[in-house]
Structure 1
């Protein structure tokens, strides 16, 4: 039995054709996963991770406890030092997932009396972390620096008599997960300097994709040193698991002491950390990032060729979205593509705003030109 209120919520979602269900993996052509470089299926990375464990005589299945108790094995220290060097940061602190990293950071860093400004399309994990914070939070229009400035000035002008003395945090993503677009990060940096904001950027969908050897979009733009904190994750292009907060050494020390999702959880097992090391080794050896970029360019060109570019959000990332309003309609078209052998997922409300339902194409280095051509030809026919 389920309480009546909960049953009602399920019934309402089902009536809107928006009920989520778990599905097993399929053998369709992959235009749905976050495995942008094919690393999640890489036997080379799998074998290299095993070799790292063997070389370090590590044969553990679990971490045995939180990192503050018994779970802080030596691979953690090696990997965090490597990540800091690779991403040009003072320090890196590994969390069990991107969700844990965002929950831990935003629930502990902004304090009572502080303000947080966040993009209206920010990831759910950041919103959840912000809700756990004692700071006041305000959203600004998507990628809109003018709206951010306006809201900040309006709020601070109201408090002229009682001058705002708290810190101000601004958070955005370098690549947005549901739109695939990017903000003007250089201008966000400039604005943060002007007002004294602490800028945080989630690079989940940019890590492994942008920049030399997949260092991310901020490093590609050479502004990483101007950002207070970066969140990188390993479950997308890196094909493994976990996340890290990049920032100063004093920030790392603070998170170790106050980020509850770090303190009160069992650490990642040694195999997960070895896999992160192996994935970064593969990233430096292969040209998968280059192949991915070629496929992104090809996809964008074929959208124009089939005259459906107007349906799609402008994006240079691996995430390409075509807006098809209505849960029923977008679901039906997705099912049509799936019946033809292509795994394209519908993104429905309430995950995205009502009327902004879409087909979300995730591109990969291993998608062939023929597959891209065929799936877009079918889409053009269906719409």
Structure 2
């Protein structure tokens, strides 16, 4: 085989020397405190059976999409799903993408134009940052969940002349800290100033709100948000994503979003899986969310009783993170917990800032109180 270029090998060596080299691992069979399967849908046999029955009902025998949505891949099930999404999430329309990553780079890479301004939370997901790199608009980060810093950055940057648009991008639940912005204040500010708010609801859909439809909808703010990104690969247990917004936004993305235009569409059985998961969410979601919320509360109580609560980031979501500075330190404790039979991941720098390395506990509806109590005791011991 041809050798790796020296520049690339050097980058790998540097990452290895910093203790930050990423490697793929296979599912371990350990007790799950790591996956995004918050409600257990991804492993639910009843949901699997419902999806199979829907495939039979729709007489789906086609394996692949056969092409992009603009060519041959836009099968009729897309229409059914997007209509369902728009109705369920109280949106004028919806457009399905192959993943949350595709949705974010497709949206941010095409919607903000040259001369526009995009202000994004400093802890925003990497897919949004990557989308901004594809954009011709200028991007500026503001301090995490700080409306005052956002206002200050806008005041220093935006002149108000011409026809420039201002986009503000945040998440309703942040993937590393598990916390949330004050969406009501943020919406009020954007409405008063005529700015366009974009909210990524990846870690809120299925989990947050009485019906599990996300924080924006739970607060009744959907009509004042320019776009929402919802994903199906976390609490819903399947795959794909959608941008929720106006008819005009959907039309624009179909014409200019490169991650939609130039990729093969989702196969029909994936679309059926999303439809089935939304039906299951309406039927069983409340029960699983109740179990999840009980487990989150129990984890926090147990952690605060012990040393494990010292560096626990305040969060009411399924993501509970304990700060353990240093890549080697957090990897060591993660391995000790793995050896004890628990799958909990170490989040290393540069994924998070240096000194903010952490163990990221993902709590699930199916975790038992015994599992939660034991892992917290072990964590306290190793800390």
Paired residue for 2:57? 55
Show the counterpart of 1:173: 171
Aligned-pair CA distance for 1:195: 1.5
Instruction: Tell me the distance in 1 between the aligned counterparts of 2:140 and 2:326.
Output: 28
Q: Who is 1:89 aligned against?
A: 91
**Structure 1 position 48, deviation (Å):** 1.3
Matches within 5 A, 1:227-246: 227-246=225-244
Tell me the equivalent position of 2:377.
377
Aligned to 1:153: 155
Q: Distance in 1 between matches of 2:275 and 2:381?
A: 44
1:248 match: 246
Counterpart check, 1:364 vs 2:378? no
Q: Quote the residue 2:311 is aligned against.
A: 311
Secondary structure of the residue aligned to 2:211 is helix
Q: Deviations over 1:75-103 (max 9, x none)?
A: 11001100111111011110000000001
User: Hey, what's the Cα distance between the residues in 2 that align with 1:34 and 1:117?
Assistant: 27
1:276 counterpart = 2:274: yes
Match of 1:341 in 2: 341
Q: CA deviation at 1:32?
A: 0.4
Partner of 1:19: 21
SS where residue 118 of structure 1 aligns? strand
Q: Equivalent residue for 1:79? A: 81
Please report how far the alpha carbon of residue 308 of structure 1 lies from its aligned counterpart in structure 2 after TM superposition.
Answer: 3.0
Q: Secondary structure at the match of 1:272?
A: helix
Deviation of 1:213 after TM superposition, in Å, equals 2.1
Q: How much has 1:116 moved relative to structure 2?
A: 0.2
Select which of 161, 183, 186 maps to 2:184: 186
Farther-moved stretch of structure 1 (291-300 vs 122-131): 291-300
Question: Aligned partners of 1:58, 1:108: CA distance in 2, in Å?
Answer: 34
Cα distance in 1, alignment partners of residues 53 and 71 from structure 2: 27
Deviation at 1:122, TM superposition (A): 0.3
Alignment-derived partner of residue 298 in structure 2: 298
1:60-139 matched pairs, under 5 angstroms: 60-139=62-141
- Is the counterpart of residue 221 in structure 1 residue 219 in structure 2? yes
Answer with 97-106 or 41-50: which moved more.
41-50
Equivalent pairs, count: 379
Aligned mates of 2:26, 2:381 — CA distance in 1: 28
Quote how far apart the aligned CAs of 1:164 are: 4.6
Relative to the length of structure 2, the TM-score reads 0.98
State the Cα deviation string for residues 299-339 of structure 1 (Å, max 9, x = none): 11111221432311100000000000000000001111111
- Which residue of the other structure, out of 189, 193, 204, is the alignment partner of 1:195? 193
CA distance in structure 2 between the partners assigned to 1:376 and 1:47 by the alignment: 35
Which digits, 9 at most, give the CA deviation of each residue in 1:161-203, with x for residues without a partner? xx25300000000000011110001111011012111000000
| Distance in 1 separating the partners of 2:73 and 2:157 | 44
Per the alignment, in what secondary structure is the counterpart of residue 213 of structure 1?
coil
CA-to-aligned-CA distance 1:226-272 (integer Å, 9 cap, x gap): 10000000000000000000011111111111101001111000110
Q: Tell me the CA shift for residue 49 of structure 1.
A: 1.4
Which stretch of structure 1 is more off in the superposition, 38-47 or 302-311?
A: 302-311
3-state SS of paired residue (2:243) = strand
Deviation, 1:60, is 0.4
Unpaired segments ≥5 residues, structure 1: none
- Cα-to-partner distance string for 1:346-367 (whole Å, 9 max, x where unaligned): 0000110000000000000000
Q: Secondary structure at the match of 1:149?
A: helix
Measure the CA separation in 1 of the matches of 2:222 and 2:85: 14
Tell me the TM-score normalized by structure 1. 0.98
Secondary structure of residue in 2 paired with 1:308: helix
Q: CA deviation at 1:295?
A: 0.7
Which stretches of structure 1, 4 residues or more, deviate above 2 A after TM superposition?
Answer: 307-310
